[in-house]
Structure 1
């Protein structure tokens, strides 16, 4: 039993299909805590081990958990083109400090179908000149897709990097109408 009198696992996870391949979604009682791209068996095992280490509780597969079920529903609707944003509760416990500040600004201030430069995002959080640090924040994003780090691009028009791979970033930007659909 935890401090709130609840019994059972504190961290739950499920794998869901998406337009960019399988995604692992993990949630705590506080909200969605992690989204992991390319959730093959080996990636899933590694993600569960990292969550166990970082959160102090072994995650349990539980797609029926209410928070997780809602996140799955919203992710599926996003990839079906039926949803432009997410309103599931988020658990920010895997990120802190500057990274959390940048990711919160990204989540609230860069809407569907738009992009922002690394430097612009740095200025928005009061750290002009911290474009490279913003890039590191994007790499530390534990909630990609839901916290849309794919919408951060280079100021000169380049696509920039992406932890899920550049093909995945292109597909997400195409889904949102920012880039044309890939030809193949």
Structure 2
């Protein structure tokens, strides 16, 4: 009889609507305890932007991922858990500086990003290209061939294209500033609409 009453009580508790503020406070408490216990290897959050909802993820080393909604945020988090660590938590506080800098960028109050980056999702030549992409200044564009020459391998035009297409930190690492030699867009992880929007933003 007691078991039946306990089951009924549990069912009633689980079916009771929970206030959003209560949930938010509980999550914040969880985030604080996880931070104190040093058990978060990857913190993430999502923000709204003129190019859609963006997923931001950071390790203790720095910002490791910026992902467009078209990439499927759940899939991106799953990949991060497989490649880096399964200890992932929605922890917006750790991404506050990144979120603020992106807001300033989209408001045209920021031209360069100051956040520390973790480039561990890339290796070798791809990482080399991504390290050099911020050298392309705000409002400027370069061709894939230009970038190949910039990194000291003028014949590696295709490889530069691949490095840009697989850039795990779009916007912050500005692969959108790299175009085909005929001036057309070329590929972009966020799609042609997002690439066009970023170029127009910087040209305004």
Please classify the TM superposition score into its range, dividing by the shorter chain length: 0.7 to 0.9
Name the counterpart of 1:48: 77
Name the counterpart of 2:29: none
Residues 101-151 of structure 1: per-residue CA shift (max 9 Å, x gap): 0011112x1011000100010011111111111000011100000000100
Name the counterpart of 1:182: none
1:89-104 matches, cutoff 5 A? 89-104=116-131
Is 1:35 the counterpart of 2:72 in the alignment? Answer: no
Residues 47-93 of structure 1: per-residue CA shift (max 9 Å, x gap): 1101000102332100011xx11111101111111111101000011
SS at match of 1:82: coil
Moved more, 134-143 or 31-40: 31-40
Name the counterpart of 1:114: 140
Report deviation, 1:165.
0.4
SS at match of 1:176: helix
Instruction: Give the helix-richer structure, 1 or 2.
Output: 2
Q: Based on CA coordinates, which of the two structures has the bigger radius of gyration? A: 2
Name the counterpart of 2:7: none
Query: Hey, what's the Cα distance between the residues in 1 that align with 2:108 and 2:151?
Result: 30
Query: Hey, what's the Cα distance between the residues in 2 that align with 1:168 and 1:7?
Result: 36
Is 1:176 the counterpart of 2:202 in the alignment? Answer: yes
Report deviation, 1:6.
6.4
**Contact 1:63 1:69 (C-alpha < 8 Å) held by counterparts:** yes
Instruction: Name structure 1 gaps, 5 residues minimum.
Output: 179-184
* RMSD value, Cα: 1.6
Query: Hey, what's the Cα distance between the residues in 2 that align with 1:19 and 1:10?
Result: 29
TM-score (norm 2): 0.79
Report deviation, 1:39.
6.4
**Contact 2:41 2:85 (C-alpha < 8 Å) held by counterparts:** no
Instruction: Name structure 2 gaps, 5 residues minimum.
Output: 1-35
